[in-house]
Structure 1
Amino acid sequence: MRKFILSTESGADLPESLAKRHNIQVIPMHVIMDGQDYLDGHLPVKEIYEFYDRTKKIPSTSATNVHEYQEFFKKIKTEFPDSIIIHIGYTSKASASFQNALLAAEDVDDIFLIDALNVTGGLTAVVMYAVTLLEKDPEMNPVHLLEKIEVKVPKTRLAFLPGSLDFLRAGGRVSNMAYLGGALLKIKPCIELVDGKLVSTKKYHGKMSKVAEKLFLDYLQQYEIDRQKIYFIYSIGLSETIKQRINEIALEKGFENRIWIEAGAMISTHSGPGGFGIAGIEV
């Protein structure tokens, strides 16, 4: 029986425990700070926050390049010579990473690539859906496997509340006027993935403790999410009380598996501390 190997980028924020358990290969993206290039996953997120406190600037981020992908796929093939690689990538609408993976895969046998059109927990949700399919049928035809995953890509829903308007402003994502108004009114924009693009869809008012709960209830009203699994994303600084309340609601709503994901450097650069998000797949 030929072995399937799943791979993705660090921008999925896939918990290390899940990656190890399911032998999912993860390639790092890049964070550039103080003129130095760091691999995402090797830079403590707290250093990003300290950098902002010191400079009032946020780091820049960049995609995994073609050479890195070539070495990554080569390493997988060396370790698992008869494997079939299924690479599930970070949305092509927000990064060149997926295009670079396509170029690197041109000379690789038995590799299939899927643009998840999602990031962080949304990307993890697609990867873990693939895991579930392979657990049920390890000998599935690769083309059939791809078809099943691709059906779920447009049904994967991510909604995220950045923890800090300061980070959005520093990254040029809100104007100074909008920032001042938002800060005064305690407005928190909801960021969603729409056709693979990060879009501000709604605005919430108030403290994160109330806003996180409201977002979750709105999300469940808008989308018919599969109750098997739901993913919650947080950036460092989110209150444990908020996490507890979200878990209570998820349990009340019948979610069997509630998985918390810590945002890595790539995502935290844009979110700031104390952010909260939700990801799941519609039935």
Structure 2
Amino acid sequence: MSRHVAIVTDSTAYLPQRTMDRHGITAVPLTVVLGDHAYEEGTEISARSLAQALQKRTSVTTSRPSPAVFAETYRKLAAQGATGIVSLHLSAEFSGTHEAATLAARDAPVPVRVVDTGMVAMALGFCAMAAAETAEADGSIDEAVSAAEKRAAATATYFYVDTLDYLRRGGRIGATQALLGSALAVKPLLQLDSGRIELLEKVRTASKAIARLEEIVARRAGAGPVDLAVHHLAAPERATTLAARLRDRVPGLVDLHVSEVGAVIGAHTGPGLLGAVISPR
């Protein structure tokens, strides 16, 4: 390796492969179980296959990587020359991934700092990129962790879903909130707050909810330098339209990533998801 501190994240960061290659970031895959078959996210199952399974109401569950998978990842990086590792993962409120990484770190051949970023999707991806850029500048393991934590503290995530049912079934949102949305026939806007999904606003129609999402993101982005990400599941037109409008409305935009979420997040949000990540530089 060209640097001493290696950066590890997990497949829910949804970083483009070219970005991971450029920064030397390693992503450990979570597992998606469709019916009786288990698949590694990002390598063995597509978002389209997941969306079709959800629409057919096929049983879908997700599981964390095992500590053994993390242990092997840490050993390989140490063998490649890493003298320290920063392992950044999705919110511990969503998954046991952080716990599995922590267990593996105890016996790693080099020091490993495991961080619960409280983030997911490109909110996690931006944290991994911040840590990697610090490491590339010969930053220490503590400096790389600090860079990731600083980025996480400034990052906000908002999203729209067609229904709260998938989040309710996966235990990611309270039954009371889900039932309220269904009973009132409203379209929910949600936010990631302290590592948890919270209901932000209830809007009467999908078009109004997406317009409101745009307003919230543009206001939160402000005028300073900022990176944005737009995510979707089986809703490419929505994502393309939102991204184009944000390009026009955010004067300090540096990078804009548009991508479909992977199977792990998609399993809990359902088709129709439209989300945005705001990450000031």
Deviation at 1:70, TM superposition (A): 1.0
1:86 aligns to what? 86
Query: 2-side partners of 1:227 and 1:178: how far apart?
Result: 38
Query: 2-side partners of 1:103 and 1:61: how far apart?
Result: 20
Deviation at 1:49, TM superposition (A): 2.5
1:228 aligns to what? 226
- SS of 1:107's partner is coil
RMSD: 2.5
Deviation at 1:145, TM superposition (A): 2.7
Amino acid at match of 1:93: E
1:199 aligns to what? 198
1:154 aligns to what? 153
- SS of 1:273's partner is coil
Query: 1-side partners of 2:248 and 2:59: how far apart?
Result: 36
1:102 aligns to what? 102
Cα distance change on mapping 1:268 and 1:215 into 2, 3 Å: same
Query: 2-side partners of 1:75 and 1:249: how far apart?
Result: 41
**Deviation per residue, 1:88-129 (Å, 9 max, x gap):** 111112211101101101112132222111111211121122
Amino acid at match of 1:113: V
**Deviation per residue, 1:194-241 (Å, 9 max, x gap):** 111122222233124x4223212123435658533111111122315x
Amino acid at match of 1:231: A
**Deviation per residue, 1:233-257 (Å, 9 max, x gap):** 11122315x5234323333321122
> Percent of aligned pairs with the same residue?
20
1:63 aligns to what? 64
- SS of 2:119's partner is coil
Which 4+ stretches in 1 moved above 6 angstroms? none
Query: 2-side partners of 1:225 and 1:196: how far apart?
Result: 26
TM-score of the aligned structures, taking structure 1 as reference length: 0.85
Could you tell me whether the CA contact under 8 Å between 1:32 and 1:59 is conserved in 2? yes
- SS of 2:209's partner is helix
Query: 2-side partners of 1:177 and 1:57: how far apart?
Result: 22
Cα distance change on mapping 1:75 and 1:225 into 2, 3 Å: farther
1:214 aligns to what? 212
Q: 2:48 aligns with which of 46, 49, 60?
A: 46
Could you tell me whether the CA contact under 8 Å between 1:157 and 1:282 is conserved in 2? no
1:274 aligns to what? 272
Q: Which structure 1 residue ranges, 5 or more long, are not aligned?
A: none
1:9 aligns to what? 10
Amino acid at match of 1:29: L
Deviation at 1:63, TM superposition (A): 1.2
- SS of 2:183's partner is helix
**Deviation per residue, 1:250-283 (Å, 9 max, x gap):** 3332112211132000011112222111112246
Could you tell me whether the CA contact under 8 Å between 1:238 and 1:275 is conserved in 2? no
Query: 1-side partners of 2:243 and 2:212: how far apart?
Result: 10
Amino acid at match of 2:106: E
Could you tell me whether the CA contact under 8 Å between 1:125 and 1:279 is conserved in 2? no
1:145 aligns to what? 144
Cα distance change on mapping 1:213 and 1:87 into 2, 3 Å: same
Q: Which structure 2 residue ranges, 5 or more long, are not aligned?
A: none
2:119 aligns to what? 118
- SS of 2:236's partner is coil
Q: Does 1:252 align with 2:249?
A: yes
Cα distance change on mapping 1:58 and 1:262 into 2, 3 Å: same
